[in-house]
């Protein structure tokens, strides 16, 4: 059963692709030519896939889920899971856009060594990119906080649909539902929703996502640093680098002499460290960065 969802958010109009931006793209191609590239991506790469972000120009103010909120009470978690039971379907239905496909093309061309992503939407994997490190986990898995039991989000959805027969139909009858960037559907009446605990130990189950206030696992951080060290250039795409989980890799790349190119709408915390910053949509810029030389020479056809 499908629930009709809407985003409730319209991104700001992009800046025109004028001569200055074209020149910046050419400079980026020259800077990255012959270098092994690792990409660090954030929510801005997925906005053209229909997944809103928190910080781009035009995005409304939203409060992301925190670990403290999630653990605050069983009632809050039940309310959260009711909303997520509907909202995760929007993220699951999203498809890669031209920016994701451009990174895959760079990898197929032997230029991209991998992707470190702050996103939980799995769109890089859907686009066919390999060696994707998910810093903040992904929406497609759920785990127990006590015994680390795991289940796929699809299987959990089937179990919850059976347990909450009629819930989706009732909410669906109210029309379109706004969905936040973290797949939280904006519904208030969740009093008739039932959530399960871990079937093995009775512990709390949680999406396998790093919430605000949570730390990225040390092993994941170390792996990300290794990916940056193995590359000659770091390409930051669609991230304001507001939080340290992404900023530290840009700082590390700069400190170790890697080329640092940033493609993002709006300012980032690493703009002054970058060799080149392009303020434009990733879905417009990246296909031009990934274009074969003969295409680029003819004006990025």
Q: Give the largest Cα separation in the chain, rounded.
A: 62
Domain presence at residue 4? no
Task: Provide the mean pLDDT of the chain.
Answer: 87
For residue 272, count CB atoms less than 10 angstroms from its CB and return exposed for 0-12, middle for 13-18, buried for 19 or more.
exposed
Domain presence at residue 7? no
Which of the residues 124, 136, 162, 165 is marked catalytic?
136
CB 88 within 8 A of CB 170: no
Domain presence at residue 271? yes
Q: Give binding residues as ranges.
A: 144, 147, 198, 201
Share of the chain above pLDDT 90, in %: 68
Residue 201 reports pLDDT greater than 70: yes
CATH number of the domain that residue 54 is part of: 3.40.50.1220
Sign for the pseudo-dihedral over CA of 192, 183, 132, 104 = positive
Residue pLDDT, tens place only, 84-115: 888 888 889 999 999 999 999 999 999 999 99
Residue pLDDT, tens place only, 209-219: 999 889 999 99
- Over range 71-90, report the average pLDDT: 88
CB 151 within 8 A of CB 203: no
Domain presence at residue 42? yes
Answer with the residue of higher pLDDT: 5 or 267: 267
Sign for the pseudo-dihedral over CA of 279, 48, 86, 123 = negative
Domain presence at residue 59? yes
Residue 298 reports pLDDT greater than 60: no
Instruction: Provide the residue range defining the domain that includes 290.
Output: 20-297
Residue pLDDT, tens place only, 2-41: 333 333 434 444 445 567 999 999 999 999 999 999 999 9
Domain presence at residue 2? no
Lowest mean pLDDT among 1-5, 222-226, 294-298: 1-5
Share of the chain above pLDDT 70, in %: 82
Residue with the two structure tokens 């920016």: 99
Whether 136 is catalytic? yes
Domain presence at residue 14? no
Domain presence at residue 85? yes
Q: Give binding residues for Zn(2+) as ranges.
A: 144, 147, 198, 201
- Over range 77-89, report the average pLDDT: 87
Q: Count the domains in the chain.
A: 1
Q: Which residues pair with 73 in a beta bridge?
A: none
Q: Which residues pair with 271 in a beta bridge?
A: none
């Amino acid at each position: 059963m499908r629930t009709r969802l809407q985003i409730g958010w319209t991104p700001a109009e992009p800046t025109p692709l004028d001569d200055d931006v074209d020149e910046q793209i050419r400079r980026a191609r020259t800077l990255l030519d012959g270098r092994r590239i690792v990409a660090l991506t954030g929510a801005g790469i997925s906005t053209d896939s229909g997944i809103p972000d928190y910080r781009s120009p035009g995005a409304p103010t939203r409060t992301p889920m925190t670990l403290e909120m999630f653990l605050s009470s069983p009632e809050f978690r039940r309310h959260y899971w009711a909303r997520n039971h509907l909202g995760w379907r929007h993220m699951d239905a999203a498809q890669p856009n031209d920016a994701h496909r451009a990174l895959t093309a760079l990898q197929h061309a032997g230029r991209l060594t991998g992707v470190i992503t702050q996103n939980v939407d799995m769109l890089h994997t859907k686009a066919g990119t390999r060696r994707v490190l998910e810093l903040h986990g992904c929406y497609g898995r759920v785990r127990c906080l006590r015994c680390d039991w795991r289940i796929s989000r699809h299987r959990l959805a089937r179990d919850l649909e059976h347990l909450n027969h009629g819930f989706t139909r009732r909410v669906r009858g109210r029309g379109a539902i706004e969905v936040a960037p973290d797949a939280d559907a904006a519904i208030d009446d969740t009093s008739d929703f039932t959530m399960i605990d871990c079937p093995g130990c009775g512990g709390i189950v949680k999406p396998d996502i790093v919430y605000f206030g949570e730390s990225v696992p040390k092993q994941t951080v170390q792996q990300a640093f290794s990916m940056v060290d193995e590359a000659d250039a770091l390409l930051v795409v669609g991230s304001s680098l507001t939080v340290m989980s992404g900023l530290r890799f840009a700082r590390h790349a700069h400190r170790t002499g890697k080329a640092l190119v940033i493609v993002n709408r709006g300012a980032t915390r690493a703009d002054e460290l970058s060799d080149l910053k392009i303020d434009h949509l990733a879905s417009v810029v990246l296909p031009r960065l990934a274009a074969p030389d003969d295409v680029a020479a003819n004006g990025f056809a």
